[in-house]
Amino acid sequence: MVKAHRSPSKSVKLAIVDTSVYVSLYRSGAFSEFLLQCKYLIRGSSVVLAELARGVRTTDEGQFVTDLSKRLRLVTPSERDWLRSGKIVKKLSQKHSFDVQKTREIHFDVLIALCSRSVGATVITTNREDFERIQEYVDFELVIPT
């Protein structure tokens, strides 16, 4: 007998872990205790996996990304998220005078924020400054682990 998939109950809080946390976790084990004990049900982000895959330098790093992609249920930006993200990035770039490189970098963070909002998830990141800037345009919860 195959069991039907159930959505998490309303009492379960979802979270999307940002690239910055996974990089620290992989390199130094930082935040492993936080993630093991956190009160959230972790969802993966296709945007985060793309960022991680872009930075892979070794076979072990590649395996880390592959393992994450297999173990986590993924949240992916919708067409509407992509369209809205462009408008938000333009506003952020103009307001904060971002150069081309910073504009590209923050675009993925905006997509992560929009995806988290769409599923009611909290973003867990060490990138406080950028995500707080994004909160000026996107209403989502943010947790900075210590």
Whether the pTM exceeds 0.85: the reply is yes
Q: Determine the pLDDT at residue 8.
A: 54
Q: Determine the pLDDT at residue 146.
A: 83
What average pLDDT is seen over the chain? 92
Mean pLDDT for the stretch of residues 112-120? 97
The residue ranges of every structural domain in the chain are 13-143
pLDDT at 41 over 80: yes
Q: Determine the pLDDT at residue 51.
A: 96
* Tokens matching residue 144: 């900075």
pLDDT band at residue 11 under the 50/70/90 scheme: confident
CB-based burial label for 112 (10 Å; 0-12, 13-18, 19+): buried
Output 97 or 6, whichever has higher pLDDT.
97
Q: Determine the pLDDT at residue 133.
A: 98
pLDDT at 114 over 60: yes
Calculate the alpha carbon distances from 25 to 8, 22, 30, 95 in Å: 26, 5, 5, 32
- What CATH number should be reported for the domain whose range is 13-143? 3.40.50.1010
Report percent pLDDT > 70 for the chain. 93
Query: How do residues 61-111 score in pLDDT, each as one tens digit?
Result: 999 999 999 999 999 999 999 999 999 999 999 999 999 999 999 999 999
DSSP 3-state of 13 = strand
